[in-house]
């Protein structure tokens, strides 16, 4: 069962270990989007096996960054292209509370995919 989340802040957790935002092999796969909507328009319906989301980070910006006119939060989505063996980080510069429902829907599906992969360990 997926928890009932209500805000972007609910999704902004602190992981116990970081995830690199670039490929160790310098292949420059990092991709930027200005908004979650632009990311979703391109990747929202992408094949889940060929674009396996294994992690996301939503982070709150510092007060200095907020003064620069950026939104309160930004997001990173980490994808493995399993068929090609590539690690690809996606950086979404600005996410807003109005994006919450779409982000939650997107991440919920990715979570269920991961649970299915690890099905023998499911409760």
What's the pLDDT tens digit per position in 7-53? Answer: 999 999 888 898 888 777 766 667 899 999 999 999 999 999 999 99
Segment 98-122 mean pLDDT: 93
Strand partners, 87: 80
C-alpha dist (Å) from residue 44 to 6, 11, 48? 20, 18, 10
**What pLDDT does residue 92 have?**
97
Give the structural domain span for 38. Answer: 15-118
With respect to residue 100, please indicate whether it lies within any of the assigned structural domains.
yes
With respect to residue 23, please indicate whether it lies within any of the assigned structural domains.
yes
Answer whether residue 1 shows pLDDT above 50. no
C-alpha dist (Å) from residue 86 to 28, 81, 109, 112? 11, 5, 21, 22
**What pLDDT does residue 120 have?**
87
With respect to residue 3, please indicate whether it lies within any of the assigned structural domains.
no
With respect to residue 58, please indicate whether it lies within any of the assigned structural domains.
yes
With respect to residue 1, please indicate whether it lies within any of the assigned structural domains.
no
Strand partners, 53: 79
With respect to residue 59, please indicate whether it lies within any of the assigned structural domains.
yes
> What φ, ψ does residue 56 adopt, rounded to 5°?
-140, 155
Number of domains in the chain: 1
Residues 6+ apart with CB under 8 A from 81: 50, 51, 52, 87, 88
| Alpha helices (H) in the chain, listed in sequence order | 8-11, 36-43, 63-67, 100-117
With respect to residue 81, please indicate whether it lies within any of the assigned structural domains.
yes
With respect to residue 10, please indicate whether it lies within any of the assigned structural domains.
no
């Amino acid at each position: 069962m997926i928890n009932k989340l209500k805000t972007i802040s609910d999704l902004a957790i602190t992981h116990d270990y970081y995830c690199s935002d670039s490929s160790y092999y310098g292949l420059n796969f990092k991709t930027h989007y200005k908004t979650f909507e632009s990311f979703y328009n391109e990747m929202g319906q992408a094949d889940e096996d060929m674009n396996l989301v294994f992690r996301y980070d939503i982070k709150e910006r510092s007060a200095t960054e907020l003064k620069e006119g950026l939104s309160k939060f930004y997001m990173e989505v980490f994808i493995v292209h399993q068929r090609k063996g590539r690690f690809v980080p996606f950086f979404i510069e600005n996410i807003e509370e109005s994006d919450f429902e779409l982000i939650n829907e997107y991440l919920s599906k990715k979570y269920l995919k991961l649970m299915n992969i690890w099905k023998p360990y499911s409760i």
